[in-house]
Amino acid sequence: MKKIACPYCRDFFEYSHNVILDINYTISHEICFTELNFEIKDKGSFLNIIEKYNVFHEILPKA
């Protein structure tokens, strides 16, 4: 599995982390996101977001 990190705090995401997906398809931790960032497209657990959007399927765990 490929690992990706939050662009603000640089910590790697864990599946259980609460994240926000903005309109540019950038994922950040919910606590790192500020109102100065782009409009929110979706929010949820990191695993939920990468399962929901095809653009992230390459980082899903292999079954």
Q: Which domain holds residue 15?
A: 1-63
Half-sphere exposure of 30 (CA within 13 A, CB side): 11
pLDDT digits (tens, 9 = 90+) for 17-32: 999 999 999 999 999 9
For residue 54, pLDDT over 80 is answered with: yes
- The pLDDT assigned to 63 comes to 64
pLDDT score of 43: 97
Report helix, strand or coil for 43: strand
Mean pLDDT within 27-54: 92
